């Protein structure tokens, strides 16, 4: 499970880097940031070589995610890239700049839908201009894309076609109204029945298979429903074969148990057998010694309305040894946190197994982790593997550092934080609070609690992602203010928790609205989770004025008046969310999400957007990757050089030219 930043504005605490521009591009509501990889040059050459091979594998799955997000994405992207690289006309005109911005957005979102809101992009250039540009280029550069021209134009210019990538509105068929490519011609009821039959056949299995995780579900013209599995011999095979090629090179230089971990992953990719994916996850969790680590595969299910299909992603990293102290302390005390969690004791784990956590330095981002990326990860997602083998959590320090450097001096806290004491706390404790909340969320939150016997992990359906992120966030929020954190030497005082709480409530109730288009509801799972927590606590604490709206100089502010009581509310809410998950109480989960997490106050929304616009702050950030160049003596790799490109367009065109392996239609 991936998390997003809690505090995004505090000064960085990482070692200082050379003073270079951190923001390399800006367009629409997005800033593209450069991140650095401190410590890479000092690694042994064997570890550099391993990172290089794993990084190549991370780039080879890029086309998979584009196609998963929408079946027309690859033809749209490639048509636009062909235009961009071949057009000889005026590149300063308003319509050309609009076309260029549209392409940048498609690259960033891995498709034609916004990466957060899921709404389809609206072009700011005309269809006639699009035709005119293509006519000036001629048909030859487009090749077989010519036959898909009408479909591409419809995808870009017809608002009724592919309107949203992921629909989560209650009462609608979530599959027929979503444009993602996980299902083809299948209704929600048919898909649920298909997998319910699989689950029934597997009933009683203590190690249940995550059916559907790595496949597209299709209904053919004869009405037959079947799966197209993603593996080397099936759907997405051309890209998966390239991933395997680089993983096999990585296997040759890996040492110890990591070599077997990579072998399990290769075998899974070659067969599509989900039991081999479980074997890979079990081996991966057990490997806590390898300095270099990675994630690669069909992992997270946020993009599927039914919470079953997984998007492709990869992250390559190595340990930040100095920063790992806090995660080691948290991991060592995992049982204490579980035993003292404010939930029904029946739903606590009597024995917490295999919890490991570390702070990492990311070396490469890929798939659903690029360009936008989480700042923390807790895997694997299978509940039975967590129960029997534990989980592994990471906090990504060089990414949070880059976010902080890019945000310095942007005026956000002065604009949205009313009280000077809150601004001062955020300045003093912001990044530390952010990192600790991520540690607790990923390391312990996702791995905490247990299901009641007989409850399915998919019982919460389309609400499962939102409620799971809510549960992990509440765990972190509750414990970041616990005296145990002071006792363990992880926080100086409750003042740090106050900084975290003030920021979280402000973001959940107010400032995250900057990420939503006017007139839209909240759709993305993490945004819903934050709104759910903040709005529920506001409502429950209303009589005691725990959280208060304040108007000053015609501007609205949200402030916390009673931080101690707010922490108690976090605990009370965690108790109920854990009950909902443990008992599989779909109706209660649905009621909470629909009441507190979805609707947007249009007046407040307009105000937030106007204040953001005045500050010229882009609400979304993503990254360009570093580049790695192997150095050979004869046929022997003797070093790997790292460089930091500062051109977003060049990197995207490079990836399109060198890491595009799938056909236009899959």
Mean pLDDT value across residues 129-150: 97
Residue 62 near residue 369 (C-beta atoms within 8 A): no
Mean pLDDT value across residues 389-411: 87
**Band of pLDDT at residue 619, cut at 50, 70 and 90:** confident
Residue 340 near residue 298 (C-beta atoms within 8 A): no
Q: Is the predicted pLDDT of residue 19 greater than 80, yes or no?
A: no
Q: Where are the domains of the chain?
A: 2-14+24-39+312-623, 63-166+637-658
Q: Is the predicted pLDDT of residue 171 greater than 90, yes or no?
A: no
Residue of 41 and 523 predicted with greater confidence: 41
Hey, what's the torsion of the CAs at 192, 193, 195, 200, to 10 degrees? 130
- Over its C-alpha atoms, the chain yields an Rg (Å, rounded) of 24
CB-neighbour burial class of residue 624 (10 A; exposed 0-12, middle 13-18, buried 19+): buried
pLDDT tens-place string over residues 175-210: 999 999 999 999 999 999 999 999 888 888 899 999
pLDDT at 334: 93
The pLDDT mean for the chain works out to 93
pLDDT at 537: 98
pLDDT at 202: 86
pLDDT tens-place string over residues 553-583: 999 999 999 999 999 999 999 999 999 999 9
At 284, list the tokens. Answer: 């991966």
pLDDT at 10: 31
pLDDT tens-place string over residues 449-478: 999 999 988 899 889 999 999 999 999 999
Distance CA 291, CA 266 (A): 21
Distance CA 623, CA 617 (A): 16
pLDDT tens-place string over residues 21-60: 899 999 999 999 999 999 999 999 999 999 999 999 999 9
Among 551, 545, 544, 512, which residue's Cα sits nearest to residue 528? Answer: 512
**Band of pLDDT at residue 8, cut at 50, 70 and 90:** very low
**Band of pLDDT at residue 393, cut at 50, 70 and 90:** confident
Q: Is the predicted pLDDT of residue 245 greater than 80, yes or no?
A: yes
pLDDT tens-place string over residues 332-385: 999 999 999 999 999 999 999 877 788 899 999 999 999 999 988 888 999 899
Distance CA 101, CA 237 (A): 32
Residues β-bridged to residue 630: 640
Among 584, 618, 472, which residue's Cα sits nearest to residue 533? Answer: 472
Distance CA 118, CA 169 (A): 12
Q: Are strands 215-219 and 183-184 parallel, antiparallel or unpaired?
A: parallel
Residue of 261 and 386 predicted with greater confidence: 261
Residue the block writes with tokens 């997003």: 4
Distance CA 279, CA 283 (A): 6
């Amino acid at each position: 499970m991936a998390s997003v930043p809690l505090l995004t504005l505090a000064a960085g605490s990482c070692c200082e880097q050379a003073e270079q521009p951190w923001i390399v591009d800006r367009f629409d509501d997005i800033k593209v940031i450069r991140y650095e990889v401190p410590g890479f040059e000092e690694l042994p050459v064997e570890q550099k070589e391993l990172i290089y091979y794993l990084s190549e594998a991370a780039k080879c799955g890029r086309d998979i995610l584009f196609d998963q997000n929408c079946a027309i994405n690859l033809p749209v992207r490639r048509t636009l890239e062909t235009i961009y690289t071949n057009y000889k006309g005026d590149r300063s005109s308003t319509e050309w700049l609009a076309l260029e911005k549209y392409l940048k957005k498609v690259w960033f979102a891995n498709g034609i839908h916004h990466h957060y809101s899921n709404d389809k992009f609206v072009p700011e250039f005309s269809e006639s201009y699009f035709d005119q540009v293509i006519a000036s280029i001629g048909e030859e550069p487009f090749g077989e894309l010519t036959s898909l021209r009408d479909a591409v134009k419809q995808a870009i210019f017809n608002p009724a076609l592919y309107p949203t990538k992921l629909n989560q509105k209650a009462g609608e068929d979530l599959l027929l109204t979503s444009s993602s490519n996980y299902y083809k011609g299948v209704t929600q009821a048919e898909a649920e029945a298909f997998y319910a039959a699989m689950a029934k056949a597997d009933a009683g299995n203590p190690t249940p298979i995550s059916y559907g995780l790595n496949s597209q579900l299709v209904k053919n013209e004869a009405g037959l429903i079947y799966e197209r599995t993603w593996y080397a011999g099936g759907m997405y095979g051309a890209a998966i074969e390239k991933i395997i090629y680089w993983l096999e090179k990585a296997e040759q230089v890996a040492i110890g148990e990591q070599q077997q971990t990579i072998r399990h992953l290769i075998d899974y990719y070659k067969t599509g057998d989900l039991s081999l994916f479980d074997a890979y996850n079990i081996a991966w969790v057990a490997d806590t010694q390898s300095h270099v680590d990675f994630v690669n595969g069909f992992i997270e299910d946020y993009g599927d309305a039914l919470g079953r299909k997984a998007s492709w992603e990869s992250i390559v990293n190595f340990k930040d040894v100095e920063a790992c102290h806090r995660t080691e302390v948290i991991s060592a005390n995992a049982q204490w946190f579980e035993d003292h969690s404010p939930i029904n004791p029946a739903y606590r784990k009597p024995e917490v197994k295999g919890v490991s956590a570390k702070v990492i330095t990311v070396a490469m981002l890929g798939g659903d982790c690029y360009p936008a990326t989480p700042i923390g990860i807790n895997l694997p997602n299978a509940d039975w593997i967590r129960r029997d083998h534990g989980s592994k959590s990471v906090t990504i320090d060089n990414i949070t550092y880059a976010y902080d450097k890019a945000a310095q001096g942007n005026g956000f806290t002065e604009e949205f934080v009313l009280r000077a004491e809150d601004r001062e706390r955020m300045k003093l404790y912001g990044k530390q609070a952010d990192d600790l909340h991520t540690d607790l969320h990923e390391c312990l939150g996702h791995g905490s609690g247990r299901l009641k016997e007989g409850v399915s992990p998919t019982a919460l359906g389309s609400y499962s992602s939102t409620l799971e992120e809510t549960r992990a966030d509440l765990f972190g929020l509750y414990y970041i203010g616990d005296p145990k954190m002071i006792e363990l030497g992880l926080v100086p005082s409750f003042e740090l928790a106050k900084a975290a709480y003030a920021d979280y409530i402000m973001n959940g109730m107010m400032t995250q609205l900057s990420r939503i288009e006017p007139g839209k509801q909240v759709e993305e799972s993490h945004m819903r989770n934050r709104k759910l927590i903040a709005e529920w606590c506001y409502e429950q604490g209303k009589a005691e004025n725990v959280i208060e709206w304040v108007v000053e100089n015609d501007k609205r502010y949200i402030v916390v008046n009673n931080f101690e009581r707010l922490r108690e509310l976090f605990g009370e809410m965690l108790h109920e969310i854990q009950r909902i998950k443990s008992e599989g109480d779909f109706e209660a989960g649905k009621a909470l999400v629909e009441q507190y997490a979805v609707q947007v106050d249009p007046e407040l929304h307009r105000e937030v957007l106007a204040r953001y616009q005045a500050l010229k702050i882009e609400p979304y950030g993503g990254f360009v990757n570093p580049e790695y160049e192997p150095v050979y003596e004869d046929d022997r790799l003797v070093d790997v050089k790292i460089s930091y490109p500062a051109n977003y367009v060049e990197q995207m065109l490079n990836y399109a030219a060198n890491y595009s392996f799938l056909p236009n239609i899959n």
